[in-house]
Amino acid sequence: MKQEPLKILFVCTGNTCRSAMAAAMLNDIAVKNDLNVLIDSAGVFAQIGERATDEAVAAMAERGIDLSGHRTKPLTDELISMADVILAMTSAHKQLIEALAPGKVYTLKEYAGDEGDISDPYGGDAEEYEKTAAEIYDALVDIAEKLPVEPEE
């Protein structure tokens, strides 16, 4: 019997940088390591259909990941109910969502076994985005070790 993938939703403010980068990087890690996950992202105050920031696209391109096709989406009840785990970039995001999804919301760093928030690079320069991408990636490496592997056929 095929095991259902773990559905992970990344959440930040506008879904133009942090959650989009986190989803793209975990997707890349998942493909390379045969992880049994479905990954999505949204923003608590996101508009529909905006592009990721140029700096976020560039930071991902540095890692061989194409974020140019990303389009923003707001956090909805449907996304919340579909997710098994919701990973928020900050404790403020977590507090906003927690009442809607009790027991399945964590900050990214908390889920990785660390503490603190992922800094918001929005409006910053390429270096700021690179620093945030590295911060997210470090947490994702720890998280990936806990995720289910694709079952053998």
Which residue numbers are catalytic? 12, 18, 120
Let me know: does 137 contact 60? Beta carbons within 8 Å. no
DSSP string, 12-45: ESSSSSHHHHHHHHHHHHHHHTTB-EEEEEEETT
DSSP 8-state assignment for residue 1: -
Let me know: does 28 contact 66? Beta carbons within 8 Å. no
H or E element at residue 111: helix 108-111
| Residues paired with 51 in a beta bridge | 71
Q: Provide the 10 A C-beta neighbour count for residue 93.
A: 27
On the CB side of 102, how many CA atoms lie within 13 Å of its CA?
A: 1
Token pair of 33 as six digits? 């390591």
